[in-house]
Amino acid sequence: MKYGRVDVSGPEQCPDEGRLPDAGPSSPADHLRDVFYRMGLDDKEIVALSGAHTLGRARPERSGWGKPETKYTKDAPGAPGGQSWTVQWLKFDNSYFKDIMERKDEDLLVLPTDAVLLEDPSFKIYATKYTMDQDAFFKDYAEAHAKLSNLGAKFDPPEGISIEYDSKTVAAEPFVAAKYSYGERKKELSDAMKQKIRAEYEALGGSPDTPLKSNYFLNIMILIAGLAFLTSLVMN
């Protein structure tokens, strides 16, 4: 991936709404080509990118597609419901291609634009390959996703920032959420974060030289609780 994308400053710098592909056009293969070819993507990339549907769900109240819930989504973490394309829809693998090929589980979604990947002769070459070769899918998906992500993006510096990464010699650092919330990382707060914390502290009346003002209400509540506790001890 190329890093250093510059955010736009407002919606006027974004493409118009309504340019996403339609899931149920009259001619799905022509429609997919209309949408993706104009961005310089080819049949292989259309099929590989469609494999992103190995993750996630469609919800009738959003897109109009999918069931309100299925056996795979009714107990979902977060917001249950919707219809997924795959059984393990939080795991990225090639099961999307296997499932749209088999189409034997009515709880799994197959949009017209998914089904066409195994009907159109050119799309079918890649979709069939990905059902059998997950590594080929991962490789083609990664390349197509990077290409799609970089389309029309501005970078600072203009050529972007590339991080050389050799997966054979450098083991990827596993993500450990706790590292980012307490412990050693605390010592590594950025200057911006330190300023933010300082501003919040000062807004509450604190400063580097003056401790926070005492909270009288809290002190009185603690005193009352202490007296109640002592009274109950004496009464017993």
Q: How far is the CB of 184 from ligand HEM (least distance, A)?
A: 34
Do the beta carbons of residue 198 and residue 209 sit within 8 Å? Answer: no
Q: How many other CB atoms are there within 10 angstroms of residue 49's CB atom?
A: 18
Give me the residue whose beta carbon is nearest to ligand HEM. Answer: 56
Of 94 and 113, which CB lies nearer to ligand HEM in the complex structure? 113
For residue 16 the two structure tokens come to 């118009």
Q: How far is the CB of 3 from ligand HEM (least distance, A)?
A: 19
Give Cα 119 distance to the centre of its chain.
30
Binding site for ligand HEM (CB under 6 A): 21, 23, 32, 49-50, 52-53, 55-59, 62-63, 65-66, 111, 113, 145
Of 73 and 131, which CB lies nearer to ligand HEM in the complex structure? 73
Q: How far is the CB of 47 from ligand HEM (least distance, A)?
A: 9
Can you say whether residue 170 is alpha, beta or left, with left for phi > 0 and alpha for psi between -120 and 50 degrees? beta
Q: Which H or E run includes 164?
A: none
Do the beta carbons of residue 30 and residue 62 sit within 8 Å? Answer: no
Nearest to 119 by CA among 54, 55, 40, 32: 32
Q: How far is the CB of 58 from ligand HEM (least distance, A)?
A: 3
Q: How far is the CB of 19 from ligand HEM (least distance, A)?
A: 12
**Separation of alpha carbons 28 and 176, rounded Å:** 42
Of 51 and 131, which CB lies nearer to ligand HEM in the complex structure? 51
Of 48 and 131, which CB lies nearer to ligand HEM in the complex structure? 48
Of 63 and 207, which CB lies nearer to ligand HEM in the complex structure? 63
